Amino acid sequence: MPQDDQRQTTVEAGAGAAQDSAPAGQGGESASVDPVAEALALLTAERDELKDRTLRTLAEMENLRRRTEREVADARAYAVTNFARDVLNVADNIRRALDSVPDDAKSTADGALKGLIDGIELTERDLAKTLERHGVKIVEPQGQKFDPNRHQAMFEVPNAEVPAGTVVQVVQAGYVIGDRVLRPALVGVAKGGPKAAASPADAA
């Protein structure tokens, strides 16, 4: 009998140990995660984030480069805007000086007077060439359709021989620098004539 009791105790102890170890083994097996797969997923996510940041940075740098190129081009083209606008007063005064001389006096002038008139005309031509080298050009709207972006209407002239809205008189010349208006031309515009034909640009 004592031997049977000892054998029974040993069997029960072994069964209890087996029960204690079985759940631990099952729990470890269900909770296990492949460390290689987990590291790969983290690296892939980090790679995608860095790629996105790189593409965004490249796009921003390209936009900055284009904007800088535009600003540099504008600075080159329009750096002399204020100076050119002041020089226009000189051009106006030279033109007034020439216009103050009657046509018959110009045709019959000789000696010192002729030299003075020729010198003023030469100065006007040289000034116009200098301005043009820096992108400043004169606007000659005579006979053109009135453009509020480039012309400033001072008065209307009844004239049925030309379409309404046609520039028939230029009071003061206008100038542009590049594709910008430096000074609008002061003009007189016809009224009362036939309507001006719509240009293809207006129709579009």
Q: What percent of the chain has pLDDT over 90?
A: 50
Query: What six digits make up the tokens of 36?
Result: 């290689």
Global pTM reads 0.60
Helix (H) or strand (E) holding 141: none
Neighbours of 40 (CB within 10 A): 11
Task: Report, as an integer, the average pLDDT of 27-51.
Answer: 80
**List of long-range contacts for 197-203, beta carbons under 8 Å, 24+ apart:** 197/163, 199/145
The phi, psi pair for 110, rounded to 5°, reads -150, 170
Q: Are 127 and 137 in contact (CB under 8 A)?
A: no
Instruction: Examine the pLDDT at 16 and tell me if it is beyond 90.
Output: no
* DSSP code for 147: -
pLDDT the model gives residue 30: 46
What does the pLDDT look like over 104-116, one tens digit per residue?
888 888 888 889 9
Complete edge-to-edge strand list for the sheet that includes strand 185-191: 151-158, 185-191, 167-172
Length, in residues, of the chain? 204
* Residue linked to tokens 């309507």: 195
pLDDT the model gives residue 120: 93
pLDDT the model gives residue 75: 84
Query: Whole-number mean pLDDT of the chain?
Result: 82
